[in-house]
Amino acid sequence: MTDYTDFESDKSPKGKKRKKGKVDPVAEMGKAGYWWKEATAEYRGQSLVAAAEALVHDQSTRRNLNLLHARMYGNFDMSGFGAREYMRGSVIASAKIAFNVTEAAVDTLASKISKHRPRAAVMTDGAKWSQQQKGKRLGRFVDGAFAHAKVYAKDDLIFIDACVFGAGGYKLIMDEDDKVNIERVWLDECYVDEADARYGAPRQMFQGKLCHREKLVADFPEMADKIRACKPPNGVEQGGFGDMIQVWEAWHLPSSKGAEDGKHAIALEDGTEIHCEKWTLQRFPFVFFNFKPRLLGFWGQGVAEMLTGVQLEINRLVRSISEQLRRKGRGRTFMPLAAKVPPEHMTNAIADIVYYNGSVAPTVDNQNAVAQEEFMQLDRLYEKAFQIIGVSEMSVSAKKPSGLDAGVAIREWEEIESERFAKQHQRWDNFHVDLAEAMLDFVREFGSADYVTKYEHKNFMETIKWSDVKHEPGTYSLKMFPVSSLPQTPSARRQAVKELEADGTIDKPTALKLLDFPDLEAEMNLGNASRDDVDALIERAINGEEVEMPDKYTNLDVLVERGTAMYLFARNHEASEEALDNLSALIDAAAAKSIAAKAPIMPPMDPTALPMPGEMPAGEGGGAAPPGPGGPMGDMTQNVNVPLQPDIPPMLPG
C-alpha cells in the first residue's frame, strides 16, 4: 500500500465509465450542458446526468486534492469517498503523520473563529415607524429560523470543511414540517463548470448524492416503479444493508428577472427524470463559506492546501531522524579482531559490536546519532507552519506568553493575533448574512402566510408569523453582530470589571462580587433589568398591545424619560394615533405616580392652633376675620403648599 504521507497515493476515485446506450459525457458535453432546454423529460434527464458525469470526469484533480487534504487532516489513509471506502484504509502505524501541523492549525482556527455566533439584525433605511417595528420583529423571525435549523450547532463542521477543502456550506431544504432547514454540503458531491464559474457566479450547479430508495419512493410516489428498478452504484451493494441509489440534482438560474428558463430537476443515475419544476430564485439553495478565495473560480483555498509543502518536509525530516536513531542511536563498540575478549561479554540487546583489524584498544562510539541541525530544522518548520496560517504555537498549546498576566495585556495580545484573521471573521459574518437572506427567500418563495418561528426572549417565547413581518427585498438590509463580546479569560474579565468600576458603570459592592466570580453577563442583565422592564412596557404600548400600568416596582422616572423620547420619535415617524394614545396614557400614568410618590407628607395639624370662627389669627391687629370665600377660615380645600404669587406693581407710563 502506498504511504499517503508521501502525497503520492493514486487511489482517488476516477470518473466512471458510461454504460452502453447512454449519452457519452465527453463527446456530448456541449449539448448536455443545455439540459434545461430539453422539452421532454426523457432527454432532459439523460442530458442532466451526462453533464454531471462530464464534470466529474473533468474535475478529477479537485476530487483527488479533496481526498488528499482529508487524509492530511484526519491522519487516516482512507481509500476514497465512496459509499464504503471512507472508513477503509491503512491501520499501519508507520503510515501515520508524526507531527500533524494541519490538524493542529485547523482545530485552533476553528476554536478561534467558529465559536463566534453572528446574529442577524434587520436595518431599515428611512422607513416609517411601522416598518421599523416590522424590521425589528423580522430580525427576531430570522433568529427563530436559525434556532429551528440549529445553525450554530452545525457551524463547527462547516468551518472545518472550509479549512480542509477550501469551502464548506449549507443546503437549504423544506423539512417535513414545511419549515426551512439546513444540511451540511459534502464538497465532493457538488460541481460547477469551471468556465461558468470563472468569476465566482455560476449559472448552473449540480449535486450528486446517495439517497435511500424508500425515502425517494415516499417523496415521489408517482415514480415508484422507476425508482425501484434503478440499480445501486458499484460498491453500495457489496456487503451491507443500506439500499442506496445515486441521484443527481441540478439547478439553472433564470437568465433575468421574470424569465421562464429557470429550472430545477432531479434524475436517477440511469437518466430517468423523477422531478422537474421552474426555479424562480436568483440563487441556488446553497450558501458557501470560503476560507480563502482564489483569484479565479468558485471554490476557495483551505489550510490543508496552504500547509502541504511544509507538512511534506516535516514528514521527511521525521522519518530521517527516526531512521538515524534506529540505526545509530543504540551506540556501537569497535573491537580489534585480535582482542582476546569473548564476544558474549560484549554483546547486549541494544548496542552493536564492530570488529576490525588492528591493535587499537576497543572504543565506544558516543557521537550524536542525529545532527543537531536536523532537530533545529524540524522545530523551524513546525513553527513556520503556524506562522503561514497566522496562529501562534502558544494558541495551539492553549498557553499564554510568559509574564503576560494583566487582563489588558492579554486582550491586546489576543487582538493582535486576531487581526491576522480579520478577513476570515468578515467572511464568516457575511456567510451568516447570506444564510439569513437565503432563508428569507425560501420562506417567501415556498412558505405560507401562516409560517411561524419562535423567538426566545429572556423569560418567555414569542411566536412570530411571517405575514406580520414580511418585507420585500430591497426594503431592508441585514447586518451581523456578535452574540457576546465579553472577555473569555478570567483575568481579562477581572480587568473589565475594574474598568467598569473606574468609569462609574458599577459600584464597589458589585465590583467586589464580580471579582469573586466575574460573570459580567449575569450582572449586566441585573443592572439593565429596570430599563429592560421599561422598554418592554413602551414596546407593548407602541405596538398596540394591552399595556399593564406601572406598578410600585417600575422605575417611573426612566419610564417617563424614555417614554417621552419614544413618543416624540414615533410622532414624527408616522406612528398610528392608537399607538400614540397608548403610549401617552402610559407616560401620564407614570408621571402621576411619580409626582404622588415624591409629594412631601404634611404633619398632622393641631386643631387648637387654628383661630375660632369670627376671630382674627393671633397677632397684631386681632379681631374678626373678614368674610371671604369658604367662610371666615377660607377654603380649606385649597393646596396650602402652593406659594402665593407676589403682587406685581403696575407699570407707570413713561
* Helix, strand, coil percent values for the chain (each to nearest 5): 45, 15, 40
Of 69-83, 142-156, 310-324, 379-393, give the lowest mean pLDDT range.
Answer: 379-393
Structure-model confidence comparison of residues 222 and 91, the more confident one = 222
Asked if 259 and 307 touch (Cβ cutoff 8 Å), the reply is no
Beta strand 332-336 pairing with 352-356: parallel
Q: At what angle do helices 308-328 and 101-113 cross, to 10 degrees?
A: 140
Sequence-distant contacts of 281-285: CB under 8 A, at least 24 apart: 281/253, 281/441, 281/445, 282/253, 282/254, 282/257, 283/253, 283/438, 283/441, 284/205, 284/251, 284/253, 285/171, 285/172, 285/173, 285/251, 285/438, 285/442
Residue 33: predicted pLDDT: 75
Radius of gyration of the chain (CA): 39
465, β-bridge pairs:
452
Query: Is the confidence at residue 343, as pLDDT, over 90?
Result: no
Q: What is the mean pLDDT of residues 276-287?
A: 96
Residue 120: predicted pLDDT: 78
Query: Is the confidence at residue 607, as pLDDT, over 90?
Result: no
* Interacting residues of 546 by C-beta distance below 8 A, sequence separation 6+: 540
Query: Is the confidence at residue 624, as pLDDT, over 80?
Result: no
**Alpha-carbon distances of 50 from 60, 158, 266, 387, 489, rounded to whole Å:** 16, 30, 13, 45, 55
pLDDT tens per residue, range 509-563: 667 666 655 555 566 667 778 887 888 888 888 877 777 778 888 888 888 998 8
Asked if 118 and 406 touch (Cβ cutoff 8 Å), the reply is no
Of 117-121, 194-198, 261-265, 462-466, give the lowest mean pLDDT range.
Answer: 117-121
CA separation for the pair 233, 16 (Å, rounded)? 10
Q: What is the mean pLDDT of residues 300-313?
A: 93
pLDDT tens per residue, range 556-582: 888 899 889 988 988 887 788 888 888
Strand, coil or helix: 185: coil
- Look at residues 216, 299, 204, 288 and name the one whose alpha carbon lies nearest to residue 250: 204
E-only strand ranges, 175-283: 180-184, 190-191, 204-212, 244-252, 263-268, 273-278
C-alpha grid cell, residue 237: 451493494
Render the burial of 38-64: b for 16+ CB within 10 Å, e for the rest: beeeebbbbbbbbbbbbbbbbbeebbb
pLDDT band of 453, cuts 50, 70, 90:
very high
End-to-end CA distance of the chain: 119
CA separation for the pair 129, 579 (Å, rounded)? 11
CA separation for the pair 263, 370 (Å, rounded)? 65
C-alpha grid cell, residue 290: 470560503
Residue type, 580: L
Residue 480: predicted pLDDT: 67
Q: At what angle do helices 151-165 and 422-446 cross, to 10 degrees?
A: 130
CA separation for the pair 401, 384 (Å, rounded)? 18
123, β-bridge pairs:
477
Angle, vertex CA 73, rays to CA 68 and CA 77, nearest 5 = 55
365, β-bridge pairs:
332
**Alpha-carbon distances of 126 from 132, 160, 539, 574, rounded to whole Å:** 9, 40, 20, 12
pLDDT band of 425, cuts 50, 70, 90:
confident
Asked if 145 and 589 touch (Cβ cutoff 8 Å), the reply is no
Beta strand 77-78 pairing with 89-90: antiparallel
Please report where in the chains the cell 392652633 appears, as a residue: 609
Which burial class, exposed, middle or buried, applies to 126 when counting CB atoms under 10 A from its CB (0-12, 13-18, 19+)? exposed
Asked if 155 and 115 touch (Cβ cutoff 8 Å), the reply is no
Strand, coil or helix: 503: coil
